[in-house]
Amino acid sequence: MSDGLAIEASGLVKEFGDTRAVDGVDLAVRPGTVYGILGPNGAGKTTTIKMLATLLRPDGGSARVLGHDVVAEADAVRSGVSLTGQLASVDEDLTGQENLILIGRLLGYSRSAARSRAADLLDAFGLADAAGRQVKNYSGGMRRRLDIAASIVVTPRLIFLDEPTTGLDPRSRSQVWDIVRALVGDGTTVLLCTQYLDEADQLAEGIAVIDSGRVIAEGTPAQLKASVGSGALRVRLLDPDRREDAARVLAERLGVEVVREADPAALSAPAADGARAAAAVAALADAGAEVADFALGQPSLDEVFMALTGHPAESGAPDGLADREEAA
């Protein structure tokens, strides 16, 4: 690799008819890291990944993946990467085991080696019991895990994951996150597309936020958050009637403007200093405004997105608060 980057894209463009799905995307991903591409529906995430994985030919710009040009050296790129597409790319009619044997055979394993590799993978991904069942009878989480397993039949140097946790319940999401951490712990580079702002925050070292085919912000999760400002305190009261009293107490204690949220029992306020925020919450109870729950944290990436684009992400995480400390 010329300058040691796992992915190096400059000015990537893809047009479908009149739509400029990707409009000049630059990316630089260091090997052995998780890099997140974050954007709402239709932002151009899948199209970008497909160009990098050699499935679509760029209409403009160029990209090198693992040091190879994605157009001129497509086969060399394919030898080092794996793709887990947005639609779980496994054969629903076959069993989990057959799916993995199929990929193993195609990658050059002998019949028996493919079989034993499949068994190991099914074990590692907690699918041993479902090995002989048709994939159409798998749950969404199982299907995703099988899909990722199919991507690492031969350990790739780089793996593309396109929205790997969309539609999964919290437990399955955390399983997929475990897998991603294990992969990157082993030196694999991960390019992760997601609409879930907390997912990128949890996993990625670098994030590119894209909207309408353009990168609108780039940096570490912390940098992106810092670009939006300080953190926030959010409080829900037991009794909505006490909201005005509570707002007064918070404004007094924190010395800032308090926001009345759409939820009639909820308030929020900028709060950079955790100790001071905690004291303010304690003061609420003293003032007789009982607190149902509160959260204190850095701004979520939802807020980052809002600040960057002026419109909210179309679909944020189900409850994108993983970076906040919850208390009852």
Residues of this chain that bind ligand ATP (CB under 6 A): 16, 19, 21, 39, 41-47, 86, 195
The answer to whether residue 22 forms part of the interface with other proteins (CB under 8 A) is: no
Partner whose footprint covers residue 44, from other proteins, ligand ATP, Mg ion, none (CB < 5 to 8 Å by kind) = ligand ATP
As a residue count, the chain comes to 328
Question: Which one of 72, 106, 238, 285 is in contact with other proteins (CB under 8 A)?
Answer: 106
- 19, 86, 174, 212: which one binds Mg ion (CB under 5 A): 86
Separation between Cα atoms, residue 301 and residue 305, nearest integer Å = 6
Residue 318 interacts with other proteins (CB under 8 A): yes or no:
yes
Nearer to other proteins, 314 or 325 (CB): 325
Per partner kind, with CB cut-offs from 5 to 8 A, the member of ligand ATP, Mg ion, other proteins, none near residue 16 is ligand ATP
178 binds other proteins (CB under 8 A): yes
Q: How far apart are CA 237 and CA 278, in angstroms?
A: 15
Cα dihedral sign, 120-124-125-128 = positive
Task: Indicate which single residue of 7, 22, 103, 250 sits in contact with other proteins (rule: CB under 8 A).
Answer: 103
Tell me the number of residues near other proteins by CB under 8 A. 66
Based on the number of CB atoms within 10 Å of its own CB, is 307 exposed (0-12), middle (13-18) or buried (19 or more)?
A: middle
Q: Which of 4, 17, 18, 185 binds other proteins (CB under 8 A)?
A: 185
129 belongs to the binding site for other proteins (CB under 8 A)? no
Give me the numbers of helices (H) and strands (E) for the chain, helices first please.
Answer: 11, 15
| Dist CA 248 CA 245 (whole Å) | 5
